[in-house]
């Protein structure tokens, strides 16, 4: 912006000298000045467009903070319901999921701050605190992950369009992570068909989730 201001001031001086100099300025000088002005106007328009695109993209990243925060809260509420209902394995699993989503949130916050955008931490609505069944809870979790995936894919498309290679590389981690997240919940849902929905089957699923909860978690931010 400072360089543009200097350039604008320089052009202003050239224009002033032209009009002050009168008819002794030749046609080539005027043409060169017109080209310089046209170039400056084109560059200014491009810079303004890039700035608007950057601000819009930063807003989408800020929205991602809200999505990750909401996911963390949702999983915390799910864990609480599972614990009270007697599904301790599922409770441990969703407590871990809640913590994991918070690490995702922090990744976005750190990236926004690195861009100089200063991440805004949003207020989020209270999550659902009651579920009719463990299977219904898992289905809701899968839908939540699909919502996050859609948002990330939209940001990837924007990063590609704007040729923002650093942000594209940053988002690639989230793309791969979402594939894993959706696959996990799809696998859990399949177990209801394989093991059944009676007490014995649900008990086995709860045991499976307990094992998953004890698996090594992703590195912290």
Domains and CATH numbers, the chain: 55-213 (1.20.1260.10)
Residues 2-29: pLDDT tens digits? 455 445 545 554 554 555 455 555 566 5
SS3 assignment, position 216: coil
Q: What is the mean pLDDT of residues 186-195?
A: 97
Whether pTM exceeds 0.85: no
Could you give the angle at the alpha carbon of 210 between the alpha carbons of 204 and 211, nearest 5°?
A: 95
Q: Tell me what pLDDT residue 189 has.
A: 97
Compute CA distances 12 → 7, 26, 37, 41, whole Å.
Answer: 9, 18, 10, 13
What is the distance of C-alpha 77 from the center of its chain?
22
161 and 80 Cβ atoms separated by less than 8 Å: no
Q: What is the mean pLDDT of residues 25-43?
A: 56
Residue with the bigger pLDDT between 167 and 5: it is: 167
Q: Tell me what pLDDT residue 37 has.
A: 53
Q: Categorize the per-residue pLDDT at 183 as very low, low, confident or very high, splitting at 50, 70 and 90.
A: very high
Residues 110-139: pLDDT tens digits? 998 888 877 888 788 899 999 999 999 999
Tokens matching residue 57: 């993209």
Q: Phi and psi of 220, rounded to 5°? A: -75, 160
Nearest to 75 by CA among 97, 45, 59: 97
Residues above pLDDT 90, as percent of the chain: 55
Q: Categorize the per-residue pLDDT at 159 as very low, low, confident or very high, splitting at 50, 70 and 90.
A: confident
Query: Is 105 a residue whose pLDDT tops 80?
Result: yes
Average pLDDT, the chain: 82
Compute CA distances 19 → 9, 15, 26, whole Å.
Answer: 16, 6, 12
Residues 50-86: pLDDT tens digits? 555 556 677 888 888 999 999 999 999 999 999 999 9
How far apart, in whole angstroms, are the C-alpha atoms of residue 99 and residue 79?
11
């Amino acid at each position: 912006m400072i360089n543009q201001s200097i350039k604008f001031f320089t052009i202003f001086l050239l224009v002033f000298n032209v009009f002050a100099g009168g008819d002794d300025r030749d046609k080539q000088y005027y043409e060169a000045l017109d080209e310089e002005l046209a170039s400056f106007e084109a560059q200014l328009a491009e810079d303004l467009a890039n700035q608007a695109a950057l601000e819009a993209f930063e807003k989408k990243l800020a929205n991602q903070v809200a999505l990750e925060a909401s996911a963390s809260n949702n999983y915390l509420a799910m864990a609480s319901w599972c614990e009270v209902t007697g599904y301790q394995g599922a409770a441990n699993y969703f407590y871990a999921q809640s913590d994991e989503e918070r690490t995702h949130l922090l990744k976005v916050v750190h990236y926004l701050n690195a861009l100089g955008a200063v991440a805004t931490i949003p207020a989020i609505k209270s999550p659902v605190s009651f579920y009719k069944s463990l299977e219904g809870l898992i289905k809701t979790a899968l839908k939540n992950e699909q919502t996050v995936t859609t948002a990330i894919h939209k940001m990837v498309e924007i990063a590609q369009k704007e040729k923002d290679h650093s942000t594209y590389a940053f988002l690639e981690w989230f793309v791969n992570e979402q594939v894993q997240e959706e696959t996990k919940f799809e696998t859990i849902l399949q177990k209801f068909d394989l093991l059944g929905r009676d007490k014995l089957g649900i008990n086995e699923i709860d045991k499976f989730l307990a094992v998953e909860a004890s698996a090594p978690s992703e590195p912290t931010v």
